[in-house]
Amino acid sequence: MNSSNTLRKALWANVAFAEIGALAAFFLNDTFAPINDMTDGQGVIFGIELLILSGLAAYTAWKPTVRKGLVQLIIALNTLLLAYFIIRLEDPTISAAGMELIAVDTAAVLALIIVQVRSLRAYSQAGKPTMVS
């Protein structure tokens, strides 16, 4: 499979994940306790951050050529989101449903990071000539 297509699919998955998270943070923060646990009561700020991540990932995926620097920035933002989720898992006041939601989100973000890093490496090496011995 073409590494560019894999990278674009990973970026679009990132867009979908961030958009769903942002919508949940905006509209379900006050009514659904696990979302409130995940956002630490800051649903609007959390949603805006996810919208920024989503917009950046969509912009990068739409470009005809993938810019390595933008993908690295998206990976860095996902890593910060992963660190936030791990820190939230340490909070003893979070409900069991909140812990499960955060654990699932942590796994999803980790999977996105892994696929994006692997695809970016393959994409970067696809343009380089290979040495034949």
Count other Cβ atoms within 10 Å, centred on residue 82.
Answer: 18
Mean pLDDT of 96-120: 94
What is the per-residue pLDDT across 38-75, written as a single tens digit (0 to 9) for each?
Answer: 988 889 999 999 999 999 999 999 998 888 999 999 99
| pLDDT exceeds cutoff 50 at 131 | no
Separation of alpha carbons 109 and 82, rounded Å? 6
Q: Which CATH class, in words, describes the domain spanning 3-124?
A: mainly alpha
Separation of alpha carbons 130 and 127, rounded Å? 9
What is the per-residue pLDDT across 15-41, written as a single tens digit (0 to 9) for each?
Answer: 999 999 999 999 998 898 999 889 888
Query: Whole-model pTM?
Result: 0.86
**Is 41 in a helix, a strand, or coil?**
coil
* 33: CB partners within 8 A, 6+ apart: 95, 97, 98
CA angle 22, 27, 28 (to 5 degrees): 95
Return phi, psi of residue 47, to 5°: -65, -40
CA distances from 41 to 47, 62, 94, 111 (A): 11, 33, 11, 26
